[in-house]
Every structure is written in C-alpha cells, then in structure tokens.
Structure 1
Amino acid sequence: MPVTLALDTATPFLTLALAWDAGALEVSREVGRAHAELLADATKALFDDAGLPFQADTIVIGTGPGSYTGVRVGASYALGLGRVWNAPVIGVSTLEGLVRGSGRQAVSQDARKGNVYSAIYDVQNGVVEEVVEPVAKREATAFAALFADLRHHQDTAPSGLALLRAGLAHGEKDWQLAYL
C-alpha cells in the first residue's frame, strides 16, 4: 500500500497530509513561526492517527513562496525523511495548496509592501490542470485586475491534500525553494 506524505511550512500555517490506499488525513493549523518546534511531532501524530507505521513512499513538499526560515524548515525535514525512508521528495508551489474544487481560480499570498505572490490556475477536482498566469510577485492592485470575475483564495491555509494531489499529478523532482 503506497503512502504519500505532504507538508508545507511556507506560510504561518503548518500543513500536513497523508494519503494511502484506504484513506487520507490532513491537518493545517496556524503556528506563526514555530514550524521547527512542532513539525516532527505533528508529522508523527498524523501517522499515528492514521494507524500507519512512520514511513512514506513519496514525500511532497510545498516549495513556497514563503518566509526564508519557514520554507527551509519544511524542505530540510522532508529531505531528511526522504533520505531515511529512501523516498523521493517532490516539490510543488505552495500556491497550488490554495486551490479548491474546480474552475479557473486566482490564488495569492501577501508579499508585503502592496505586493502579492500570485497565480491563476485552471483546476479540476482540486488539482491544477493548467497554469494560466504563473507564480510571480505582482502589485496587488494589478493582480486584482487580472482576476476580476474569478474565485480568489488569498492568504488562506494551504490544503495538504491539494498539495499532495498536485505533487503526485505534476510535482517536480528537481525543485527549488521560493522565498518572500
């Protein structure tokens, strides 16, 4: 039974998800800057809640954009687990964790000083099918003009299951972190 773990620490939320043949679990809670202190225990608790041994076959990491320390905490932990478990670590933009449902959607996170990191995606069943506007730092008002009639998900907690599905669908094996 293949097990996939997804994690994201790029935002003020600690986001985790676990999927296996018989089910899926996800958790996302606001932790501010306490990712390093909480990540290991929260990950182990997720496996315990699922009744699974502490090992995954694939790991999906949210690569940001996010805070320098937050993004690196998650990436370091994912790479460490991947090495111990001999599991590939696949990267996907944290912004893909903001999508919900189906349809064209705008997503953004605050990038400070009137700017946002943003993208526009075509989404089917919670998975990005097409990138309409790639992830970029934009002036917030200019980005608003791009999505006037679209659903907009802004500064919300990423969905661990959305990240997991995106990673399995089109995640990158040769990923890079994106910082605010």
Structure 2
Amino acid sequence: MLLLAVDTATPAVTVALHDGASVLAAESDVDARRHGELLLPAVDRVLAEAGTELHAVTELVVGVGPGPYTGLRVGIATALAFGSALGVPVRGLCSLDGLAYASGVEGPFVVATDARRKEVYWARYADARTRATEPAVARPGELAQAVAGLPAVGAGALLYPEVFPDARGPEHQSAAALASLAAGLLAGAGSRAPGSAPAAGFLPPRPLYLRRPDAQVPKNYKVVTPK
C-alpha cells in the first residue's frame, strides 16, 4: 500500500505519504491564503522525498473538514482529480479526527478549530480514536457548559482560553496523523456505516462546510437589462 493524504481544511496545507507501516514523508505549511498555490508543490516534494512518483499511489485520503469553503475545496478537488487520473479510491476523513489522533490525549477531550466569525468548529472525543459527537460550529461562549473541565486541542481552543482553559497542541492539522489514522482504519474495519456511532471512520470525499460560504449573491440585487 502507498497512501497519499492531503488536508486543506485548516490554515495548514499538509501532505503525507504512508506505506501501511509508517509515514515515509510529510510536509506542512501554514498559510490560510495560499492553499491552491502550495498544495501541488508540496505533493511533489513529499513524493520526491519518499523516492516515488504519483502513479505508484494506491490509496488517497483527504480531510473533508469542517473548514472554510475556499480552502477546503482545494484539497478535496485535488484528491478527486488524482483519484480519477490514477483509478484509485478517494476516502474522506473528518479533519477534527486527524487532530484528535495527533493529540494522543487519553480520556475525554475536545477538538476545536478556528471557524472565523468568532466561531469554532468542534467535536467531543472519548479518546484519540473515538469521536463522541458529530462536528458542529458554534460561538465559544455557547460551549462553556459542554466543554467544562475537558482538555481541548486545536487553534480554536488556543484562541479562546476563557472557554478552553486547558488548551494544547497540535494547533493545526497534520497529514502525517491523518495518514496514520487512515492506515489503521484500512487495516481494520475501516468504513463507517450509515447511522452508526460517530467514531472516527471513513466518509465520502465531500466537504463538511456546516454553514453557508462567506461570499454570497446579494439579495434583491438590481438586474440590468439592455434597452
């Protein structure tokens, strides 16, 4: 197996290659405004570091968010294009699951990423592999009771210490963690059946936006027609 993982759901543009036993190469670059510019060169460098080429990839995994509209679609569109060209499956993973897996926290905790607009994307976890709630978006102040007393991981938690006093890293997503989680899932049951408990598992490679995009067509705009 040669698994390529990419994620652009957070400000991190992150890529990793995994052979089923360990991560062969990985790269992350934090820049919320340049996902489209950075992703493909990062893929090239990761493949070169591992001494292989794209045609050798047999599995593709992509973080499906939740995340902002523009950044998130870059990673998913790229993964789907690779999958179509290579004829290999593309599997999605919740990006919060990757952060949870990277944290190594034992016991209940929360993952929260920055959703902008003074909101966070978040979910509760029973442990680093088991998500206890579906991903959601909320204002931090609305979560005080739900997250009280729990450690919290991610940039969203670090931004709001008054709500997440036990905030810690990792701050951003890591494709190396996402790839390791995916490799473990592929070695086991792997898939999440519809209606099953929301434990970490593969999802369709479709974006989890959770809210409307920032850019929208104005309501009641004036239509100009030629005379």
Q: 1:21 to 1:116 in 2, by over 3 A?
A: closer
Which of 125, 146, 150 is residue 121 of structure 1 equivalent to?
125
Partner of 2:45: 45
Tell me the distance in 2 between the aligned counterparts of 1:115 and 1:17: 29
Letter in 1 for 2:31: V
| 95-104 vs 81-90, greater mean Cα deviation | 95-104
Asked whether the 8 Å contact 1:92–1:166 carries over to 2, the reply is: no
Partner of 1:101: 104
The CA deviation at 1:21 is 4.7
* Paired positions, count: 174
The CA deviation at 1:22 is 6.0
| 109-118 vs 76-85, greater mean Cα deviation | 109-118
- Structure number with the higher strand fraction is 1
Which of 194, 200, 208 is residue 178 of structure 1 equivalent to?
208
Asked whether the 8 Å contact 2:22–2:180 carries over to 1, the reply is: no
The CA deviation at 1:42 is 0.7
Q: CA RMSD in A?
A: 1.8
Q: Unpaired runs of 5+ in structure 2? A: 156-170, 186-200, 212-227
Please, what TM-score do these two structures have when normalized by structure 1? 0.87
Structure whose alpha-carbon radius of gyration is higher: 2
Tell me the distance in 1 between the aligned counterparts of 2:116 and 2:175: 24
Please, what TM-score do these two structures have when normalized by structure 2? 0.70
Partner of 1:163: 178
Q: 1:8 to 1:21 in 2, by over 3 A?
A: closer
Asked whether the 8 Å contact 2:3–2:58 carries over to 1, the reply is: yes
The CA deviation at 1:16 is 1.1
Partner of 1:3: 2
- Mapped pair 1:35 → 2:50: no
Q: Unpaired runs of 5+ in structure 1? A: none
